[in-house]
A and B are shown apart, each in its own frame.
Chain A
Amino acid sequence: MIPMFRTLSRGVLSNSAWWSVEFLANDEWNRRRPWLKKTDPSLTPREIMTEKIFEKNNSILFPMTTTPFDIKKTYLRFLEEDPEITMPVAAIESLVTMLRIKQPSTSSELINLLSDATTHLKTSIPNAISLSAGCDLFTRFVLRNTHLYSDWESCRTHLVENGQLFLQRAKESREMIAQVGLKFIRDDDTVLVHSYSRVVLHLLVHAKKKFVRFRVFVTESKVENDANEGIKMANALREEGIPVCLINDSQVGYVLNKVDKVFMGAEGVSESGGIINRMGSYQIGVLAKNAQKPLYVVSESHKFVRMFPLAPDDLPVPPEGALNFSLDTTKGFNAYHHVDFTPHQYITALISDLGVLTPSAVSEELIKMWYG
């Protein structure tokens, strides 16, 4: 039965079709990434044979299997395949997959492998803030905890075997956040949200399910002509039966006196408790502070990242993304920057799976992780 399933999954069906198979058991999940595997020790000789046969066939159908393991491709693949996964978790998953394939045999090999892979990931992906949170968390976890296992081999096995568990927990943390954050939304509130954020959406939907009556302003969050995250958010909320008013990014100041509280997600939460988020967050933060409206950041704790930006533009700039001035009248908008930085003094509280945190609690968590 299993080989047949593999035939279906690896050769004939298109990618998206076999990914939609949802009933996969935990160890089936390992087999879902055949192009990432060398040999599975648990397979019988006969299965290994079939494996080899399919490997041959696949080299035509799946050129990726023949190429060496590429962490960037794996990372992007994870993101593409599961729209619910966050960037840090995708990074953790890619590192776990790498450990499964490369099977380093000594600790120093492991450390080199991890640092090479994280550096490669961080340099090859243009917006690497969020994924670096995941890489750091993972590396730090491995380095801190190898001594707790009898040998580091068992640590590796633990990490490789529990990939699915991490994913599941990352998703559960969103549920936790919804429960913690529920009390922040009251009847008759008008809430402003910026751009599309899965965790904010989850929180609002949870509140709706608990029969809280509230309305939402959603900013359009226009960065480029095609990527319109605000409309996506507005539609998602409307489909859940939450009344939405979609506004332009330039309209925030205009509507803010009608708003009771502001919610936004984050790509990363910096060491000072400030956030790195979709372009436009900073200006909303400043406006909210000026109007004395509370700004709540909703974010999973695995997005806490060890960075200390001092200014809104103190973030890694995408290669093509310097702010260019030109006399060329055919040039459009400067659209390369996708994230900005909102300092902690604009943030009232962070709603995370660790509870409601003040910005200084974030730095403590990070300090404990790195120096504790």
Chain B
Amino acid sequence: MSSAQKYEVFVDSFISKLKRRQVTGSYNVATATCRLLMRVISSGRWSSTAEFIELIRGVGTKLIEAQPREFAAGNIVRRVLAIIRDEVSETTATDMANNAPYNTSMFQLLSTTQTNKNPSNQLTKQPNQDLRSVVIQGIRELIDEIASVHENIELMTVDLIHENEVLLTPTPGSQTVLNFLLKASLKRKFTVLITESYPNDIQECHKFAEKLAKMNIETVIIPDSSVFAVMSRVGKVLIGARSVFANGGCVTAAGVATVCECAKEHRTPVFAVAGLYKFSPTYPFDRDSLIEVGNSGRVLPYEDSDLVGKCEVTNPLFDYVVPEHIDIYITNIGGFSPNFIYRIVLDNYKAEDTFGHLF
């Protein structure tokens, strides 16, 4: 029992950090979740793999409930669950050998071999230690993968950016976009337009511009209102996604949906960059619930007492971009059309963890 309490302490402290937004942003949340799961797994106790899976699911549910808009936490938990399930199915591979390997789920209707819901029950004899070390190794690889996302995305810059091109980026808060552009500047000469991103990312915008300017990239900051005016001269729009959904839509910084709409109007290609850990198998059922509303004091400072309380001020932090408005997703495993995202999701997560009662 003491061991159970031991990991619950870490989990609870991480949950409060998530709730207080001490950990924010997909990258930070993803790495922190990996570390947390590693500690949970090294101190947790279980007698069967089913129990182990249940333990991780339990932690995952708590994390998702703590901050449902930080999709990275849920994604990492699902990835880890997939690692465990793969490990389990590998060891039972001999038992499953007589199960016909149906290549499409459509044949499920006609097969007799029922998909075994918890094959892990037969596995109680398997030493815990073995599975533990394998899963921890898997999580280490996951952390490495997350850390190397930028490098892999940067590899594609040469193919995507041309000489003397004008790029527009409405997400100066994105590290991935920044690294992408910095890397591209080594091989190509181009201009970057950055939207001001008032009111939430205005400081990030200035820092972003500074970093680009240091690399001798021609950088222009434009107000958000002039996006449509400049769009006719823009060659490509580059956006950083916060999380990407199974239908190919994504959540990103506020104002980006407008930019994508303008780009569509001018037939300007929109590139979205995102690491694999941002791909969520969930479906954006209710768009309002995806969008977080922030401090309205940033729009109308509270010192402005004349207006405070007399009018309503909202400050949404995110935007949902529909899949039709994005031409390509550039990820650390390659470039994909939004139509193909469902496949990436199917490859990385198990169906049990997508539509279960927990998630």
Whether the pair B342, A173 counts as a contact (CB closer than 8 A) is no
Given A356-B283, A360-B340, residue A169 in contact with residue B105 (CB < 8 A): no
CA distance A357 to B342 in the complex (A): 8
CA distance A169 to B106 in the complex (A): 12
Determine if B100 is an interface residue (Cβ-Cβ < 8 Å).
yes
Tell which of B104, B112, B339 touches A158, judged by Cβ atoms closer than 8 Å: B112
How many residues of A are in contact with the other chain, CB < 8 A? 39
Whether the pair A358, B248 counts as a contact (CB closer than 8 A) is yes
CB proximity of B258 to chain A, nearest CB, Å: 16
CA distance A360 to B323 in the complex (A): 13
Chain B residue nearest to A96 in the complex (CB): B110
Tell which of A148, A173, A355, A364 touches B109, judged by Cβ atoms closer than 8 Å: A173
Whether the pair B342, A368 counts as a contact (CB closer than 8 A) is no
CA distance A148 to B100 in the complex (A): 7
Given A186-B285, A358-B339, residue A365 in contact with residue B109 (CB < 8 A): no
CB proximity of A40 to chain B, nearest CB, Å: 21
- List residues of chain B with CB within 8 A of the CB of A180: 355
Mark out the residues of chain A between 146 and 205 whose CB falls within 8 Å of any chain B CB in the assembled complex.
148, 158-159, 162, 165-166, 169-170, 173, 179-180, 183-184, 186
Tell which of A169, A302, A304, A361 touches B342, judged by Cβ atoms closer than 8 Å: A361
For the residues of B in contact with A, the DSSP-based class is loop
Mark out the residues of chain B between 73 and 112 whose CB falls within 8 Å of any chain A CB in the assembled complex.
100, 103-110, 112
- List residues of chain A with CB within 8 A of the CB of B108: 169, 301
Determine if B343 is an interface residue (Cβ-Cβ < 8 Å).
yes
- List residues of chain A with CB within 8 A of the CB of B351: 355
- List residues of chain B with CB within 8 A of the CB of A162: 110, 112
- List residues of chain A with CB within 8 A of the CB of B107: 137, 141, 144-145, 369
Given A169-B109, A349-B247, residue A365 in contact with residue B104 (CB < 8 A): yes
CA distance A348 to B245 in the complex (A): 14
Determine if A372 is an interface residue (Cβ-Cβ < 8 Å).
yes
Q: Which of B104, B247, B339 neighbours the largest number of chain A CB atoms within 10 Å of its CB?
A: B104
Given A137-B110, A162-B112, A186-B285, residue A354 in contact with residue B339 (CB < 8 A): no
Given A361-B343, A365-B104, residue A92 in contact with residue B110 (CB < 8 A): yes
Mask: chain B, 318-359; 1 = CB below 8 Å from A; 0 = not: 000000000000000000000110110000000100110000
CA distance A169 to B107 in the complex (A): 11
- List residues of chain A with CB within 8 A of the CB of B355: 179-180, 355
CB proximity of A213 to chain B, nearest CB, Å: 15
CB proximity of B143 to chain A, nearest CB, Å: 29
- List residues of chain A with CB within 8 A of the CB of B283: 183, 349, 356
Determine if A217 is an interface residue (Cβ-Cβ < 8 Å).
no
CB proximity of A104 to chain B, nearest CB, Å: 18
Determine if A138 is an interface residue (Cβ-Cβ < 8 Å).
yes
Determine if B246 is an interface residue (Cβ-Cβ < 8 Å).
yes
Chain A residue nearest to B324 in the complex (CB): A345
- List residues of chain A with CB within 8 A of the CB of B340: 360
Determine if B286 is an interface residue (Cβ-Cβ < 8 Å).
yes
Whether the pair A365, B285 counts as a contact (CB closer than 8 A) is no
CA distance A21 to B106 in the complex (A): 31
- List residues of chain A with CB within 8 A of the CB of B286: 183, 186
CA distance A366 to B283 in the complex (A): 22
- List residues of chain B with CB within 8 A of the CB of A184: 285
User: 9 extra interchain contacts, Cβ-Cβ under 8 A, other than A358-B246, A358-B339?
Assistant: A179-B355, A301-B106, A304-B106, A355-B351, A355-B354, A356-B247, A358-B247, A360-B339, A360-B342
